[in-house]
Amino acid sequence: MIRRDLSRFALCLCVAVVVLAGCGGSQPQIGASGAMPQRQTPQTMSDRNAHQNAAKWFLYVGLQNARSLDVYHLHGNKPIRKFSGTLGPVTIALDPWSDVYTTDNNPSGGLITAYTPGARSQLLQIGLYDWCRGLAFDAEGNLYAGCYGSVRVYAARSTELIRTLRQPGVNEALTFDSKGNLYVAGLEGSGPRAQVEVFPPGAKKPARTITKGIQYPSALLVDKSNDLFVANCGFICYFSSGRSGSITEYAYGSGTPLRTLTDGIDSPQAMAFGKNGLLFVANYGYSKKGSVTVYSSGTKPVRTITAGIRNADALAIGPSGDVYVANYAYAKGHDSITVYTPDGSQLVRTIPEQLSGPLSLGIGKE
């Protein structure tokens, strides 16, 4: 029988960006209370391009069975660094400075751990807390951590707690739109909290609640137009109702679904936007081996990826648009990371993980 933490499914990916700022006074030590990141000095466009072209990109893989965070060169097949001693990073998220944040898979006494870019060293740790799952960053780089019974807000690159948003249950999925609104979804008690709550910037209480089309929300995503996408009915919904799930899309400010995707959806675990705005959905696929379905503007998939897929569990998009998929099959020789072309039409390579249990993915640069 598969033993798995049913509340651990969420993928909250935050795109790393280069922050440019002028020279200023001295700053607090990173990790100290009130610390702020050391920002880069202004560069010319040619200098920025040269820097970006020379930047080292890394793939971060959270492994449940091996209980470690493994670090790869983005185009490598073997880890260059490993950080053990964790119960298995359930979520990986990058702040605006490319620091790598993880939450472990411990329902009680868990830790949030941050690493410097490239995960060369540990930056800080926050905890112990119960069931911290969702991770997201606002425009200033402040960390929002979805834990049991609350969303905790920490100053950028710091352990300083700024405020606490009281939210019942496990706050598993968090995301921001470009206007700074925070979206929170999760599970409560033995059943679903069938809603997504929206907090304006700096607010301690939600301004509105979305309930239509929501059931067991497990992952959230916002596009460039600030449309909200919700993955419904992942692992836990499969066991409770046998339904395959759905993806619901909401126009900005609306609580009524603009579009509902069910064709090709089978227990959706993660979502990501790829090249040209394509939506990729990782379907764990309990009745089958799973798939990754690709959607454009319609309700039917433009492509269904099955080559190399064995119970797709997490997604990440590389700087060139390549699509990275974590396959967590609970079967010897089938756990892997598979990499596809930006449109998903071709399997490029496979990184075997040999029953290590790839649970989460992240991509960032040094």
* Structure confidence by residue, pLDDT tens digits, 28-63: 345 444 443 333 323 333 444 434 443 599 999 999
Decide if 269 contacts 9 (C-beta within 8 A).
Answer: yes
Is 239's pLDDT higher than 60? no
Is 333's pLDDT higher than 90? no
Is 170's pLDDT higher than 70? yes
CA neighbor of 118 nearest in space, from 172, 72, 187, 155: 72
Contacts of 242 (CB under 8 A, 6+ apart): none
Which residues face 337 on adjacent strands? Answer: 326, 351
* Structure confidence by residue, pLDDT tens digits, 244-287: 889 999 999 999 999 999 999 999 999 999 988 999 999 998 76
Where b means 16+ CB within 10 Å and e means fewer, 24-42 reads eeeeeebeeeebbbeeeee
Helix, strand, or coil (residue 171): strand
* Residue 289 confidence (pLDDT): 86
pTM, two decimal places: 0.84
Higher pLDDT, 305 or 191: 305
Section 66-94 average pLDDT: 91
How sure is the predictor about 243, in pLDDT bands with cuts at 50, 70 and 90? Answer: low
DSSP assignment string, 13-70: -------B----S--PPTBSTT--PPPBPP--HHHHHHHHHHPPEEEEEEETTTTEEE
* Residue 168 confidence (pLDDT): 79
* Structure confidence by residue, pLDDT tens digits, 112-168: 999 999 999 999 999 887 788 899 999 999 999 998 889 999 999 999 999 999 887
Is 288's pLDDT higher than 90? no
* Residue 186 confidence (pLDDT): 73
* Residue 203 confidence (pLDDT): 93
Decide if 144 contacts 136 (C-beta within 8 A).
Answer: yes
Decide if 111 contacts 89 (C-beta within 8 A).
Answer: no
* Residue 29 confidence (pLDDT): 46
DSSP assignment string, 205-217: S-SEEE-TT-SSE
Section 287-305 average pLDDT: 93
d(CA 136, CA 13): 8
Here the tokens at position 238 are 């499969």
* Structure confidence by residue, pLDDT tens digits, 3-33: 344 333 333 333 333 322 333 333 334 544 4
DSSP assignment string, 105-170: S-SSSEEEEEE-GGG-SEEEEEEEES---EEEE-TT--EEEEEEEEEEEE-TTB--EEEEEEEEEE
Is 80's pLDDT higher than 90? yes
Here the tokens at position 106 are 């411990």
Domains for the chain: give ranges and CATH numbers: 263-366 (2.120.10.30)
* Residue 193 confidence (pLDDT): 55
d(CA 320, CA 41): 26
* Residue 242 confidence (pLDDT): 55
3-state secondary structure 144-161: EEEEEEEEEEECCCECCE
Section 238-243 average pLDDT: 55
Section 347-356 average pLDDT: 84
